[in-house]
Amino acid sequence: MENILSTIVQRDPHEKEFHQAVREMLQMVRPVFERNPEYRREAVLERIAEPERVIMFRVPWMDDQGQVQVNRGYRVEMNSAIGPYKGGLRFHPSVNLSIVKFLAFDQVFKNSLTTLPMGGGKGGSDFNPKGRSDGEVMRFCQTFMAELFRHIGPDTDIPAGDIGVGAREIGYLFGMYKKLRNEFTGVLTGKSLDWGGSLVRPEAAGYGVVYFAAEMLAARSETFEGKTCLISGAGNVAQHAAEKIIDLGGRVVTFSDSSGYIFDEQGIDREKLAFVRHLKNILRGRIREYVEKYPGAVYTEIDPDRDHNPLWSHAADCAMPCATENELNEKDAVNLVRGGVRLVCEGANMPSTPGAIGVFDEHGVLFGPGKAANAGGVAVSGLEMAQNSMRLRWPKEEVDERLRQIMKNIHSICLDAAAEYGMEGNYLAGADIAGFVKVVNAMLDQGLV
């Protein structure tokens, strides 16, 4: 395994996020190879860590000043063993091939855990929608789709949203796809309700994280009632995780964005949450504006070069990192343990560094890894695809109940797989093993392609 990893590192030495994701997976699936010697003979690791297809393209567009801008677009079609490629698009200046490959790699196993027939992919661009007018975002999305449309389709590859890609961007992308192909199909998920979207899709990732965490607590005869929770981020996943925690009787005290975080000791209630939604989704403002409206809260700027994030130093019972990868490091994990946190459940993809996960493990903190805990987003995307194929729409209660069942199921799958390999209660090992075995067996069934 070390040889395989060093070959991957030598081949693409700059892809550190991708190496991190592959390294974690290799460590966790080691025992599976002892039981299945054919996996080694068939070189499944080498095959699974190599994308089936990588698409990189130029995205030229014109800004409001008439200046031509050039961004880079990506789509990594990682694995289609169990279904068409499925995974979001991210628009953020940090996007590069390493980040898209790591997200696509993790997406393969996440999608496998949902039990829905979806392969894994991911894409995006280094375009920054922040501060851009609607017209600029529309022109960018149209040019992006003018290339992407030839690689995707409802039975081939079905993108969705991610950081920087919400309802507005999905609308512009869908409009251009429809014009180019002259067809109205479920080629993107996260669509608006009036033209093919599913109820509960916007809420799904955040609700799903909390449903998963509630299962983790229930396995220890506990609930969210009265528990204090730290949440990072203030976007789609963070907002809906907060909403569901409030529904279940918990107390959310933080939100953040890339500039800083707010701490509201009184707790963020439904009214304050509605303010954050309006601020972030409509006004596209900054989280510091929260304290102008609610002066009882405190805003702290976060230095991008910090060695720890003060958000994670507050006393709490639970923590849910819902912003971005590697946002919670070993020091943060130590601070969480000191502050009394006993459950960490990841809303974002790979937000905890390997050092942080080591600290959780050492101190017996319940740890729900993103690839299991945040699978609710893609699961409801899968349900959106099913509704689009049938040309009908399920009621809200039905989709929500299906989401809840899927999260409950993923929780059991993780625990069962971990127990089967003697790692009782290790959700990370369980998620990696269960997701991996299913995809690998499908690949073996389909021959060397």
| Shortest Å, Cβ 217 to ligand NDP | 21
Show contacts with ligand NDP in window 314-333 (CB under 6 A): 322-324, 327
Name the residue nearer to ligand NDP (CB basis): 15 or 325.
325
Name the residue nearer to ligand NDP (CB basis): 156 or 326.
326
Tell me which of 8, 152, 234, 365 binds ligand NDP, using CB under 6 A: 234
Show contacts with ligand NDP in window 330-369 (CB under 6 A): 347-349
Residue nearest to ligand NDP (CB): 235
Tell me which of 121, 377, 382, 430 binds ligand NDP, using CB under 6 A: 377
Say which DSSP state 166 is in: -
Residue 112 binding ligand NDP, by CB under 6 A:
no
Contact pattern for ligand NDP over residues 171 through 210, marking x by CB under 6 A:
----------------------------------x-----
**120-125: strand order across its sheet:** 53-62, 68-79, 120-125, 85-91, 157-160
Cα-based distances in Å from 201 to 48, 155, 186, 276: 29, 20, 14, 19
Name the residue nearer to ligand NDP (CB basis): 125 or 374.
374
Name the residue nearer to ligand NDP (CB basis): 44 or 71.
71
Residue with tokens 């880079």: 72
Tell me how many degrees the CA angle 123-169-116 measures, rounded to the nearest 5.
55
Name the residue nearer to ligand NDP (CB basis): 1 or 274.
274
Residue with tokens 């509704």: 387
| Shortest Å, Cβ 255 to ligand NDP | 8
| Shortest Å, Cβ 55 to ligand NDP | 19
Tell me which of 121, 159, 235, 250 binds ligand NDP, using CB under 6 A: 235
Name the residue nearer to ligand NDP (CB basis): 86 or 251.
86
Tokens of 383: 């349900």
The residue count for binding ligand NDP (CB under 6 A) is 23
98 φ/ψ angles, rounded to the nearest 5 degrees: -65, -45
| Shortest Å, Cβ 421 to ligand NDP | 26
Report the C-alpha gap between 381 and 396 in whole angstroms. 14
Report the C-alpha gap between 431 and 317 in whole angstroms. 23
Residue 233 binding ligand NDP, by CB under 6 A:
yes
Contact pattern for ligand NDP over residues 128 through 167, marking x by CB under 6 A:
---------------------------------xxxx---
Report the C-alpha gap between 151 and 73 in whole angstroms. 13
The H or E element spanning position 211 is helix 201-218
Task: Quote the radius of gyration of the chain (alpha carbons, Å).
Answer: 21
Contact pattern for ligand NDP over residues 240 through 279, marking x by CB under 6 A:
-----------------xxx--------------------
| Shortest Å, Cβ 442 to ligand NDP | 23
- Let me know: does 379 contact 114? Beta carbons within 8 Å: yes
| Shortest Å, Cβ 407 to ligand NDP | 13
Nearest Cα residue to 206 out of 321, 283, 39, 300: 321
| Shortest Å, Cβ 435 to ligand NDP | 15
Identify the burial level of 291 via C-beta atoms within 10 angstroms of its C-beta, where 0-12 means exposed, 13-18 middle and 19 or more buried.
middle
Tell me which of 71, 142, 189, 236 binds ligand NDP, using CB under 6 A: 236
Name the residue nearer to ligand NDP (CB basis): 59 or 379.
379
The alpha carbon torsion through 150, 189, 102, 286 (nearest 10 deg) reads: 120
Tokens of 441: 């067996």
Report the C-alpha gap between 14 and 52 in whole angstroms. 20
| Shortest Å, Cβ 375 to ligand NDP | 7
Catalytic residues, which ones? 122
Q: What is the DSSP string of 71-101?
A: EEEEEEEEE-SSSSEEEEEEE-TT--HHHHH
**Facing residues of 125 across strands?**
73, 91
**Among the residue ranges 218-226, 235-243, 386-394, 430-438, the one whose residues contact ligand NDP (CB under 6 A):** 235-243
| Shortest Å, Cβ 182 to ligand NDP | 29
Tokens of 220: 């220890």
Name the residue nearer to ligand NDP (CB basis): 186 or 235.
235
Say which DSSP state 282 is in: I
Name the residue nearer to ligand NDP (CB basis): 39 or 74.
74
- Let me know: does 182 contact 149? Beta carbons within 8 Å: no
**Among the residue ranges 22-30, 136-144, 236-244, 264-272, the one whose residues contact ligand NDP (CB under 6 A):** 236-244
Nearest Cα residue to 26 out of 10, 46, 12: 46
Q: Please give the residue ranges that form the binding site for ligand NDP (CB under 6 A).
A: 161-164, 205, 233-238, 257-259, 322-324, 327, 347-349, 374, 377
